[in-house]
């Protein structure tokens, strides 16, 4: 492992936890020590929050590495990774911090472990400002399989803000021997819309029906003739910590594209508004003519950078998260990205580094 440490300004561009997550993953894979400073410097509560710290400790564990500055509130950390091992791992921020943001740190690393891995992650399963676990399973997981990246998961308990307490087991297969490049350029036509409208805790199934009915009305007008099927669920009490609700939608196209939209229920917001918000988001994503939605595009950057060969994906305007992810990838690897305008959409192109397990 090179002992020359790479300095990364955590206040660059989006300036949030994403820089830390992606940088730590690349550091672990490339065995490249990093120092990240100005962590979340522009936030109202700068520095590491419990969720970020839990992700760092998870990365430390899965690489048998060394971490300096690992405490809540730290605005600077140094990380010295070791070897990634395939075994069972555990992480819990002790808050409603997103399980899926912990997953984002570890998943790219464990694809290159020496054996199958298992992770028990705790926190919020359906959290604000993070992918809901249902979005990940419905949209992100099938896209990952195009790269040759596979995982399964078992939701043991769902956890909602502010209690958290959710628990999910993930099972990750090593890729062999590298990730495949992808070409996702033809969005095609929408053939169907699926969804999951859910409530948990003391909330009634009637609320789930209300969110789903509202989404169906809106989407039925926006996409006449398209089959719409939204499951209406009250989570079993023994599988829920706290009180929560929301709706996750996914459009399928005849070329195999999957496009998502979602909304969380909130106090004081009607079920009709929650369902319509998710439906409007999905409509906007579909009508952008992109092949992936704006919430997924930045999550694909790290895998495009690691893949062997050129990946090309049709996207809408690159989000600040996507631009930040590209900045980190180009800073830490030899991968080169291009964003090419193509009509009202853009093509995100990357010649990956063909990373293989070391």
CB atoms closer than 10 angstroms to residue 203: 18
Give the Cα separation of 104 and 106 in Å (integer): 6
CA dist., res. 276 & res. 262, Å (int): 10
37 phi and psi angles, rounded to 5 deg:
-120, 170
Contact 194, 247 (CB under 8 A): no
Q: For residue 261, how many C-alpha atoms fall within 13 Å in the half-sphere facing its CB?
A: 23
Beta strands, E only, the chain: 6-9, 34-37, 66-68, 76-80, 88-91, 117-123, 151-159, 166-172, 183-184, 190-200, 227-234, 240-241, 244-253, 258-264, 310-315, 336-342, 345-351
**Is residue 299 a known part of a binding site?**
yes
First CA to last CA distance, the chain: 11
Q: Which of 52, 178, 209, 321 is catalytic?
A: 321
Tell me the chain's radius of gyration from C-alpha atoms. Answer: 20
User: 128: annotated binding-site residue?
Assistant: no
51 annotated as a binding-site residue? no
Residue 321 a catalytic site member: yes
Q: Per the structure block, which two tokens stand in for 325?
A: 């992810």
Query: How far is it, in rounded angstroms, from Cα 102 to Cα 238?
Result: 24
104 in a labelled binding site: yes
Q: Check if the beta carbon of residue 242 is closer than 8 Å to that of residue 163.
A: yes
What is the rounded CA–CA span in Å between residue 348 and residue 248?
A: 26
Q: How many CB atoms lie within 10 A of CB 195?
A: 29
**Residues annotated in a binding site for ATP:** 104, 295-299
Catalytic residue set: 321
Binding residues: 104, 295-299
């Amino acid at each position: 492992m090179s002992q020359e440490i790479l300095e990364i300004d955590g206040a660059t561009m989006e300036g949030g936890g994403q820089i830390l997550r992606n940088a730590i993953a690349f550091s672990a894979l490339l065995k490249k020590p990093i120092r990240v400073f100005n962590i979340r410097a522009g936030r109202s509560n700068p520095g590491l929050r419990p969720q970020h710290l839990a992700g760092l400790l998870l990365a430390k564990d899965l690489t048998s590495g060394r971490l300096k500055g690992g405490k809540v509130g730290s605005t600077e950390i140094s990380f010295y990774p070791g070897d990634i091992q395939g075994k069972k791992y555990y992480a819990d921020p002790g808050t409603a911090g997103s399980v899926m943001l912990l997953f984002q740190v570890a998943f790219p690393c464990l694809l290159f472990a020496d054996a199958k891995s298992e992770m028990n992650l705790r926190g919020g399963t359906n959290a604000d400002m993070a992918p809901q676990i249902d979005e990940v399973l419905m949209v992100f997981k099938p896209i990952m399989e195009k790269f040759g990246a596979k995982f399964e998961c078992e939701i043991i308990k769902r956890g909602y803000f502010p209690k958290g307490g959710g628990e999910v087991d993930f099972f990750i297969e090593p890729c062999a021997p590298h990730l495949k490049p992808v070409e996702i350029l033809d969005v095609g036509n929408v053939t169907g819309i699926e969804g999951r409208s859910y409530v948990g805790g003391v909330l009634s199934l009637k609320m789930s029906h209300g969110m789903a009915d509202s989404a169906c009305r809106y989407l039925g007008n926006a996409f006449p003739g398209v089959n719409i099927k939204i499951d209406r669920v009250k989570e079993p009490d023994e599988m829920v910590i706290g009180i929560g609700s929301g709706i996750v939608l996914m459009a399928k196209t005849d070329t195999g594209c999957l496009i998502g939209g979602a909304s969380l229920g909130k106090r004081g917001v009607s079920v009709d508004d929650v369902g319509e918000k998710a439906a409007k988001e999905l409509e906007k994503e579909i009508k952008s003519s992109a092949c992936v939605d704006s919430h997924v595009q930045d999550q694909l950057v790290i895998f495009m950078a690691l893949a062997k060969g050129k990946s090309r994906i049709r996207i809408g305007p690159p989000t600040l998260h996507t631009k930040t992810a590209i900045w980190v990838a180009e800073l830490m690897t030899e991968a080169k990205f291009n964003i090419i305008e193509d009509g009202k959409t853009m093509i995100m192109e990357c010649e990956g580094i063909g990373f293989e397990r070391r």
